[in-house]
Structure 1
Amino acid sequence: MCGRFTITRRDGNSIAAELGVPADSFVDYRPRYNLAPMQKHFIVRIKYENREVIPATWGLVKSGAKDASMAAKCINARSETVEARPAFRDAFQKRRCVVPADGFFEWSGPKTARQPAWFHREDSRLVLFAGLYEAWQKEPSVWETTFTIITTAANAVVGQYHDRMPVILADRDADDWMDPRAADPLALKRLLVPAPADLLIATPVSPKINNVHNDSPELLEPAGQTLR
């Protein structure tokens, strides 16, 4: 699964450049070191053949929902069943996105002493999670965009901590995934596979990450040997 992630770049302009979106896409950007479900982030979608960044809340709420009571249960969607489950079926057909990040967390050890590990690229480049999005009417005349992150079987590195991981798309595949005019969305399931084992490293980090209210750079200071 994916229950927390990061995007730690200090400069929103560098994110815009890497994503291929306008520089003013990140006017209100701030780094996040412990982003949790039900919190605000942003997604990238295709609109009129161009990439567009829009704000969104983590936890998918279907467009016709009367409330967000199911959002916490829809932070992840399993790649194996995403096209069939009622919660995700419509979004899979029409509203596919990517969720920019630069790492995510998994935990090991007993419940009383959970040790988090930060999975990230050694070159510090972004990772693009495959996602789905929806917009629902939160209150009269107020619409909120929400998203979920698609997961798949873990690769060899993540598998030392958990049996699932977020789907990470290569940049060349991201546009295919996001294309709302794709003639056969089911064919895109070929992209929903584990990342190459050499893409990520795992760095043990501060247990203070276990508290969702903590969100500062020192959370990512190494607390053990990095796994490759």
Structure 2
Amino acid sequence: MCGRYANFLTEQDLIDAFEVAVASDEVRLLPPSWNVSPTQKVPIVVPAKEPAPVGERHLEVARWGLVPSWAKDPSVGSRMFNARSETMAEKPSFRAAFAKRRCIVPASGYYEWRTGTDGKTPFFIHPADGSPLAFAGLYEFWRDKAAGADAAWMASCSIVTVASRDEMQQIHDRQPAMLTTESAAAWLARDSTPAELHDAVAAPAPALVWHEVDTAVGSVRNNGPDLVAPLA
């Protein structure tokens, strides 16, 4: 599973890497983070709504931890920061988003903890070439119905996970679904079939490298470049 990641990409990095046509003003207010945790606001790449041209992408902001439209309150999102690829099409919490609201969650890298006889060891995992990661994501909109028709809508998102592959199994049994340029296009396309979407998240991940980092990353109070530094 993915419960912590880093995103220190600039707005221009995101625009260039993900071929974004329009970035919301809220994106500019997001600071870089080396310790993104559930319930925090994060940038997401979404397909533009009609009548925008097919394939146009927008950069928006969502709270990490998906809140279904039918939820009574947004607290449920703190538990739904990941969506398993094997069940996302059927689970009531994710199936509507899987059918209609798919996104990319950009990242510089992510953290995973390996459990051993001496406890849990955190690792920072990132592309070998330093390029941005494109996590497959789902997003939803929620508002407090008790507050009336004028209540503001809240966007939230979840990161899709798959069974770990190859060397990644040495660290954890799950990993984020990481999209390639081609699979990202299929993931965001309005007319992709369920089979094509499952193929997109099953596509091989980019070449990854990892190193052990300090356990300070385990606390949300800590944030800074030192968190991704290799442990001496």
Give TM-score, length-normalised by structure 2: 0.88
The structural deviation recorded for 1:16 is 1.4
> Which residue type is aligned with residue 164 of structure 1?
R
**Helix, strand or coil at the partner of 2:202:** coil
Q: State the match for 1:2 in structure 2.
A: 2
The structural deviation recorded for 1:118 is 0.5
Residues of 2 paired with 1:217 and 1:153: CA distance? 29
Q: State the match for 1:27 in structure 2.
A: 28
Q: State the match for 1:41 in structure 2.
A: 42
Q: State the match for 1:178 in structure 2.
A: 188
Contact 1:152 1:194 in 2 (8 A): no
Matched, 1:97 2:103: yes
Contact 2:43 2:105 in 1 (8 A): yes
Matched, 1:207 2:215: yes
Q: State the match for 1:61 in structure 2.
A: 67
**Helix, strand or coil at the partner of 2:75:** coil
> Which residue type is aligned with residue 171 of structure 1?
T
> Which residue type is aligned with residue 15 of structure 1?
L
The structural deviation recorded for 1:176 is 1.4
180 and 82 in structure 1: CA distance in 2 versus 1, 3 angstrom threshold: same
Residues of 2 paired with 1:72 and 1:99: CA distance? 17
Q: State the match for 1:125 in structure 2.
A: 131
The structural deviation recorded for 1:113 is 4.7
The structural deviation recorded for 1:23 is 7.5
Aligned pairs for 1:81-92 (under 5 A) are: 81-92=87-98
Residues of 1 paired with 2:46 and 2:23: CA distance? 16
> Which residue type is aligned with residue 104 of structure 2?
V
Residues of 2 paired with 1:194 and 1:223: CA distance? 31
Name structure 2 gaps, 5 residues minimum.
none
Residues of 2 paired with 1:36 and 1:163: CA distance? 20
Q: State the match for 2:226 in structure 1.
A: 218
**Helix, strand or coil at the partner of 1:81:** coil
The structural deviation recorded for 1:104 is 0.7
Alignment deviations for residues 141-191 of structure 1 (CA, whole Å, 9 cap, x no partner)? 211100011100102232111000000000222121112233x23431112
Contact 2:83 2:158 in 1 (8 A): yes
> Which residue type is aligned with residue 225 of structure 2?
P
Residues of 2 paired with 1:3 and 1:61: CA distance? 16
Contact 2:11 2:28 in 1 (8 A): yes
31 and 16 in structure 1: CA distance in 2 versus 1, 3 angstrom threshold: same
Residues of 2 paired with 1:194 and 1:111: CA distance? 33
> Which residue type is aligned with residue 38 of structure 1?
T
**Helix, strand or coil at the partner of 2:74:** coil
Contact 2:124 2:211 in 1 (8 A): yes
- Percent identity between the two aligned chains: 34
Contact 1:13 1:23 in 2 (8 A): no
Residues of 2 paired with 1:194 and 1:117: CA distance? 23
RMSD between aligned residues? 2.0
The structural deviation recorded for 1:124 is 1.1
Name structure 1 gaps, 5 residues minimum.
none
> Which residue type is aligned with residue 169 of structure 1?
L
